[in-house]
Chain A
């Protein structure tokens, strides 16, 4: 008798192996290569470049009085003057970075908290699940802007508080999405395999589940960034941002709207930048989501049968 065991010939893919190391970044790269993703990235890139480089190239100090209130654009002030006669261009260039930093920080905070809550709820089940998800429902019951305003009016308009508050209202929807994604994953056999070793739940979640949730996390990050920017700008418009002399796109819309007829640029330009940023972030996120779905969607029997005119699926 012979026991037959011939090793499989090595799969013919070593070259492909090398190029496919980091999957998370490859999803981003693939998204960026789509038309949709490239447009989104370009839009975000323009606004980020203005916000980051802006403070260094501004012609005047953002708080200096260089012209008359609501002066029309001229050779020295390309976008005219604002409500107090400061240079609109300089204020636009200087007023973006803090908004971006705060929105990004809030987004990261919100997604981290939300993901931790959602993954724990789904994996631990039982009373943990109930407690987390009912808290989520309660927070979701408040309109997010009202919730943030409530917090800020109690403690005062501190920048760190605004950041945390905006992040906090982002967490519940993230928790919901991550919970449903985790519910599916936690029944997979590879999770059972490590449970059979008696691995601690925290380790199962961080080392087995989290790497498989990178795709939904990236989509959520992009989506939540969009919302954070909008809420941040809205808060600034209402006066909850840096204290007045400092430039801020959101507050610029508020303080300059009375001069809309004499110098509309003081309102249009910051508003447009906020719009371009949110549209860009959203478009890129959409591209990521499409790449992720495209990767995971395979033709199943149901779609096949309906295409063949045999089934009767919608």
Chain B
């Protein structure tokens, strides 16, 4: 994948980078890699692994409270470590450019796109002889239509994908030799994401730019980058060519991450990486991954494993030579329960509006008891509105919804307590769905107090049982939400929904705010609970790859209309509507699939 015509020199070289908290705890340590012109390096890991910190260090920048305390960052032969603010300003934008995760936050909402582009160029007058021509060219390169008058538009007049293209165009405007992309497609739909990724790949190749692409999504990275560096707890634990690392991962952590990626091609169980990464200052001695590693031995805990060369890559694992080829794969999902003919929830001719704007048009939906129905669509398709209509958060709709044979009133306030209790909702973002001032016990007990009014002891017992069902120990009960990781918070939200034993559980994009490794654990949890408790589930998602792992039925929404519905197998194997076909094609897949061989004996699946 290395550009053939690119000079063999190195554009960016990081050597033994060390970044510490002001208090002294190391956030990033012993990070070394190099990227050649035209090459893209993927920097992957769970949140908190230090990947963004490393990416920002490439611009000589450390977030407030962090300091670069050692190592070298050479860009075009010059070391950024130790440069003053003034010298760094000259480097940033001109030699190293940055594409942020959320372009909506990085573009000034009060300035026209043209103005912002010109400002970016004006900061580095040497970068282009004719700024206007350069702007026109980078916009075309980023596949933005100049004739649409984009330069005269404000950021809010553009779609998310267009905003991200503008941010990318700005990064390429000064012809910098290095570009740092910080999860630039995280907020985008799969189709938009694919196009943005193609744009990035083409631009890097044609201008010989060395790029560092930060992502938690291995599927995204696999088709884009030529080298991948897997980070864990501030260290690069595996670094090598993408095909090697993805087809035959050596480090147990890389294996775990890869196993957690859902695939739209097969219905298989997902295997998450249990636990969560240690925070700076709380990292164990020895290998940081040892507490989560199924192979951990005494010598792992004794010392930090030095990087060793295995099979064309660098790995930090004392067992590097033995673990190769042990990548776990999930097993086939056991035959999904036969689709039942009864109906628990029937939605008929649903029209929903926001003000005068129609969001859903004549939506029909039938959910059979004890099955999981997935509602799939891109952002703006109306899938979340559908969920909110069903649970009673959105009241501006007409049409008919019948639940267990009785009509559902629009809006929770007009529904009986009994109906409210039987339909429970899990919110998309676990960071906003739990009251930060309440303990986990109070949060989970709250619906019980409201619906059941049980005695203190029984309430407490049920809370502990509910937490146990989502694999949280009783010691979580007295913590506050901000002491929990994202995955743990989402478990609490699920426990809160299940504690009153609902019939229908509506899950609205419950994994989209989580890491892939955590997503796998949550999806498996939901699947198990649905099966054990005979729950009926409505699983709202934009991620088609997940659908196959969890749902039996699926409904595809596009622009507020149902374009296709039926059994999941049918839709995934023989999609009838062109929209569904496109959606399935655009799902990022691991380009270098691990052979699905050694699943059974793997220590990952106890």
Contacts and interface: CB of A to CB of B under 8 A. Distances in A.
Interface of A: 1-14, 16-17, 20, 23, 188-190, 192-199, 208, 211-212, 214, 299-302, 304-305, 307-313
B10 to A, nearest CB: 22
Interface string B472-485: 11011011100111
B98 A308 contact: yes
A192 B446 contact: no
A9 B292 contact: yes
30 contacts: A1-B269, A1-B332, A2-B605, A3-B269, A4-B274, A4-B521, A4-B524, A4-B606, A5-B471, A6-B606, A7-B471, A8-B471, A9-B276, A11-B484, A11-B488, A17-B479, A20-B480, A188-B433, A189-B432, A190-B432, A193-B433, A193-B496, A197-B446, A197-B450, A198-B450, A211-B435, A309-B89, A309-B93, A311-B116, A312-B116
B105 interface: yes
Nearest to B60: A308
A10 B483 CA distance: 11
A4 B272 contact: yes
Nearest to B171: A310
Nearest to A11: B483
Contacts of B316: none
B433 A300 contact: no
Nearest to B272: A4
A14 B475 contact: yes
Chain B interface, >50% SS class: loop
Contacts of A199: 450
Contacts, number: 169
Given A198-B415, A299-B63, A305 B100 contact: yes
Contacts of B472: 7-8
A300 B393 CA distance: 29
A212 B333 contact: no
Nearest to B388: A192
A213 to B, nearest CB: 10
Contacts of B447: 197
B207 interface: no
B436 interface: yes
B275 A301 contact: no
Contacts of A313: 108
Contact of B436 (A194, A196, A212): A212
Contact of A192 (B64, B427, B604): B427
Q: Which of A1, A14, A194 has the most CB of B within 10 A?
A: A1
Nearest to A194: B446
Contacts of B299: none
B372 interface: no
Contacts of B269: 1-4
Contacts of A1: 269, 331-334
A300 B432 CA distance: 17
B108 A311 contact: yes
A196 B391 contact: yes
Of all A-B residue pairs in the complex, the 3 with the closest CB atoms, nearest first, are: A6-B274, A211-B437, A189-B433
B100 A301 contact: yes
Contacts of A198: 412-413, 415, 417, 420, 450
Interface of B: 56, 59, 61, 63-64, 89, 92-93, 97-98, 100-102, 105-108, 111, 116, 119-120, 123, 170-171, 269-272, 274-276, 278-279, 282, 291-292, 331-334, 391-393, 412-413, 415, 417, 420-421, 425, 427-429, 432-438, 446-447, 450-451, 471-473, 475-476, 478-480, 483-485, 487-488, 496, 521, 524-525, 527-528, 604-606
Contact of B425 (A12, A196, A212, A214): A196
Contact of A17 (B108, B276, B483): B483
Given A14-B475, A301-B100, A304-B106, 8 more contacts: A2-B605, A4-B274, A11-B485, A188-B433, A192-B427, A196-B393, A211-B437, A305-B105
Contacts of A9: 274-276, 291-292
A301 B380 CA distance: 24
Contacts of B487: 8
Contacts of B279: 12
B485 A8 contact: yes
A3 B120 contact: no
A244 B569 CA distance: 91
Contacts of B484: 11
Contacts of B429: 189
A10 B275 CA distance: 8
A19 B120 CA distance: 47
B435 A190 contact: yes
A23 B482 CA distance: 12
Contacts of A307: 61
Contact of B412 (A5, A13, A196): A196
B604 to A, nearest CB: 7
A13 B425 contact: no
B64 A299 contact: yes
Nearest to B421: A197
Contacts of B123: 309
B435 A208 contact: yes
A23 B278 CA distance: 25
Contacts of A304: 56, 63, 100, 106
A189 B123 CA distance: 42
B119 A5 contact: no
A189 B116 CA distance: 35
A299 B182 CA distance: 15
Contact of A310 (B93, B333, B334): B93
Nearest to B471: A7
Nearest to B508: A189
A26 to B, nearest CB: 12
A14 B476 CA distance: 10
A310 B106 contact: yes
A214 B435 CA distance: 13
Nearest to A305: B106
Nearest to B496: A193
Contacts of B437: 23, 211-212, 214
Nearest to B416: A198
A300 B269 CA distance: 36
Q: Which of B89, B98, B119 has the most CB of A within 10 A?
A: B98
Contacts of A192: 393, 427, 433
B174 to A, nearest CB: 10
Nearest to B425: A196
B17 to A, nearest CB: 18
A39 B141 CA distance: 59
A311 B170 CA distance: 9
Contacts of B473: 7, 10
A310 to B, nearest CB: 5
A218 to B, nearest CB: 14
A251 B451 CA distance: 59
Contacts of B425: 193, 196
B556 to A, nearest CB: 26
Nearest to A196: B412
A2 B334 CA distance: 10
Nearest to B123: A309
A308 B120 CA distance: 11
A6 B275 CA distance: 8
A197 B123 CA distance: 54
A57 B105 CA distance: 62
Contacts of B604: 4
Contacts of A17: 478-479, 483
A5 B521 contact: yes
Nearest to B528: A3
A194 B269 CA distance: 33
Contacts of B282: 12
